[in-house]
Amino acid sequence: MNSRFRILFCLFLSALASRVAYAQCDPVFKHPLSQRPANYEIHASLDDATHSLDATQTIRFVNTSPVPVGELRMYLYLNAFKNTNSSFLKGATKIFGQSYLNRPADEWGWIDVRTIRREGGADLTKNMKFICPDDWNPDDQSVLQIPLDRPILPGETAVFQLDWRAKMPKTISRAGHSKDFYMFCHWFPQLGVFEQNRAGEWGWNCHQFFRTTEFYADFGVYDVHITLDPKFVMGASGCLVSEKNNDNGTITRHYHAEDVIDFAWSVYPRFQVWEDRWKTVQIRLLVPPEHRALAPRYLHALKYALSYLEEHVGKYPYPGITVVDPPFHGLHSGLMEYPTLITVGTFYGMPRSLRMTESLVVHEFVHQYFMGMVASNEKEEAWLDEGFVTYFEDRIIDAAFGQKSSLVDVFGYSFDNRELTRLEYTTMANPREGAPDRPGWFFSESNFKALIYSKPATTLRTLQELVGEAEMDRIIKAYFEQWKFRHPRGTDFMATLKSQLLARQDAARAMQLYHLVETGIFQAVVLDYAVTHISNDELPAPQGIYGKTESVFEYQDGSGQRTLLSKVELQRKGDWVFPVEVLITFEDGSTKLMHWSGEEGSHTFEFMGSHKIVSAQIDPGLKIGLDVDLNNNSMTLQPAASPGWKYAAKAVFWVQNLMQSSSFFL
């Protein structure tokens, strides 16, 4: 091979390598997965010294509705961190346990749209105004309204050019910076969703930003060009398409993402990048050096989740997923989901027996399905993504690490994800506080987790236990396939549920199961059944004259065999009616499975026979996790003595140790 050819060959190989590197994450779909009504091209420059962004932005909005669109409404959510009068910060002194008071001026955040022009049309800048459609707070600037010079007709595409500047706050509620770590989320002017409301009227669904609400936007294509100091290691939604070194020492990175509802990115000079692959999905994990020992745990859990969800829900269609593990000082940016980018959170030295690391990454990844693809409205019906995500988080973690010990397993003290989810709901001081199906701003910080995450997840889990995992998967798959890359409402899920149940169960049972889920989501009642009494009374043997006519009269003297009248008394202590099974066990080992509708407040089963009842158990399969007290679901007349003595022995031992240890101090 001559030298010239060798040089050309080497050049060819290096070019091929760079193409391969980018081709490992190919962001372009052969066919659109969604209608793509909202498309963005953003050119932004990060000034690290002032923590600010200067940007130009093009929005291509396609009116996919049958009505003209006369205005635009956009989220300017960084303005939620502008001052204490915003609807987000009003009335609170801490966000996620972090005080934001006494901040100097440069630690607050904002976004300012300087100009907006319509391509081939007017300058709309003077038309812009902030609106507050939810709480009428005139100081809130999280929603911008731009009346148009002329409406966008059905099927028409309108292009808008924006010029804006943003200041990132010191991290509040995920967005912002902590030292030289940045998390850019809800960082650009983003359109709401133009859709029909529940009354059938077309309009913008574009709510203000509140502490207990998340996000809702439409699908589209994102081309994002970020210019910044090359010292920053970067992770973003979508795929890295190109990098260009600029003459002024900065670097411009171009990311492309298709059929997503949002775009987020994060930078930090100290990130270490771990790259891995699961089938065709490129995994990019960014961890600070002090967390590198935890990287294999993240990757293992993520790949398990990818595999599990493909099997039980549907295919993950995107070419990549980026996982950002913030440094500890930036942890307020953690634990959040964005399309093809999730933020997690952990701590140096997190032991293997505490699986919060795995649980978090799984939870945020499942959001790619419920929120990312099945893009329900997180503000108005947060349960519709959080409930499903928590439900699948439980399934995945328990499948990966074993029931009863999947989340915590330390020296014999253990519990699993599913238990924790149920207990978060059942241990509410007042489980009747409200139904899960309410807009997010109606929840308080003390009850939203239990009612939005835990109760819906426990409801879904109960349904799964009653219909079986295979049937549950069919229901979920049907819902996913029907509603991916669309915006379902809770009623849409319920409709899918009903049709799937009716297709495979008898009508009465199907409607019972449907009403179970309906009650769990749309009502605030409590399910609690109890066995309250078991009795076995001996009836005297027959005595007296028996027979229809005198000719066949027979005298019984009472010396014959006695009969037992056994009773089991049940009570419905809650106000949630659901039919239950009751397993009665007799002293000879025989059992009877009874059914109770639960409609009356109490019920008694009676048996005549020769064997005593020794125990009764409502819901013997322990399928109804929604029951707030499982201990009263059963009763036995032959209580085991051993558990009591076991804990007596333990208590004695630990008190002795406490006494010994306290002697040390005196």
Partner 1 sequence: MIRVLSRAFTTGMQQWRIALIVYVIQLCLALPIGMEVRNVLVASIGNSLEFNKLLGHYDHTVFSDFLKVHGASITPLIGQLRWLFLVWVLFSVFTDAGLLNGVTTSGPIRGRVFWEGGACYFFPFLKIGLILLVLWLVWTVVIFLPVVLLVLPALENSVTEIGPVWTFLGLLGLYVAGLLFIQVWSVVSRLQHIRTSASVRLSLQTGLRILNRHKGKLMLFMLAFFAVQVLLFAIYWWLESHSGMITPILIVIFFAIQQAFAFFRIQLRQMAYAGIALMTE
Residues that bind partner 1 (CB under 8 A): 179, 270, 288-290, 327-329, 347-349, 404, 411-415, 419-420, 422-423, 426-427, 615, 617, 628-637, 639-640, 642-653, 655-660, 662-666
Structural contact between residues 258 and 32, judged by C-beta atoms closer than 8 angstroms: yes
178 versus 205: smaller Cβ distance to partner 1:
178
Least Cβ distance, residue 78 to partner 1 (angstroms): 22
In the bound complex, what is the minimum distance in angstroms from residue 268's beta carbon to partner 1? 10
Provide the minimum distance between the beta carbon of 249 and partner 1 in the complex, in angstroms, as a whole number.
24
The tokens of 511 are what? Answer: 């409607």
CB of 584 to partner 1, least distance (A): 12
Minimum distance from residue 99 beta carbon to partner 1 (Å)? 11
Q: Compute the least distance from the CB of residue 228 to partner 1, in Å.
A: 20
Q: How far apart are CA 288 and CA 273, in angstroms?
A: 9
Least distance from partner 1 to the Cβ atom of residue 252, Å: 27
Q: Which is nearer to partner 1, 132 or 420 (CB)?
A: 420
Of the two residues 318 and 596, which places its CB atom closer to partner 1 in the complex? 596
Give whichever of 367 and 422 is closer to partner 1, judged by the CB atom: 422
Helix (H, G, I), strand (E, B), or coil: what is residue 152? strand
Distance of alpha carbon 366 from alpha carbon 417, whole angstroms: 15
What's the half-sphere exposure (Cβ side, CA atoms, 13 Å) at 362?
A: 30
Estimate to the nearest angstrom the gap between the alpha carbon of 529 and the chain centroid: 29
* CA distance to 331, 591, 616, 629, per residue, from 583 (Å): 49, 7, 6, 18
Shortest Å, Cβ 595 to partner 1 = 19
Of 424 and 437, which CB lies nearer to partner 1 in the complex structure? 424
The sheet with strand 341-343 has its strands ordered as: 272-278, 281-287, 320-324, 341-343, 336-338
Minimal distance, residue 451 CB to partner 1, in Å: 17
Question: Helix 383-401 crosses helix 295-312 at what angle (to 10 degrees)?
Answer: 110
Cα separation values, 458 from 306, 359, 367, 382, Å: 22, 17, 17, 15
Pick the closer one to partner 1 by CB: 556 or 604. 604
Q: Which is nearer to partner 1, 54 or 290 (CB)?
A: 290
Q: Hey, what are 114's tokens?
A: 């300087």
Q: What are phi and psi of 437, to 5 degrees?
A: -80, 75
Helix axes 417-426, 455-467, angle to 10 degrees: 120
- The tokens describing 318, both together, are 């995107």
Q: Of 66 and 349, which CB lies nearer to partner 1 in the complex structure?
A: 349
Please, what is the angle between helix 507-522 and helix 490-504, to 10°?
Answer: 160
Tokens 């158990």 belong to 617
Nearer to partner 1, 54 or 569 (CB): 569
Q: Which is nearer to partner 1, 364 or 416 (CB)?
A: 416
170: DSSP letter = B
Shortest Å distance, C-beta 221 to partner 1: 37
Concatenated DSSP letters for 2-39?
A: -HHHHHHHHHHHHHHHHHHHHHTS----SS-SS---EE
* CA-based max dimension of the chain: 128
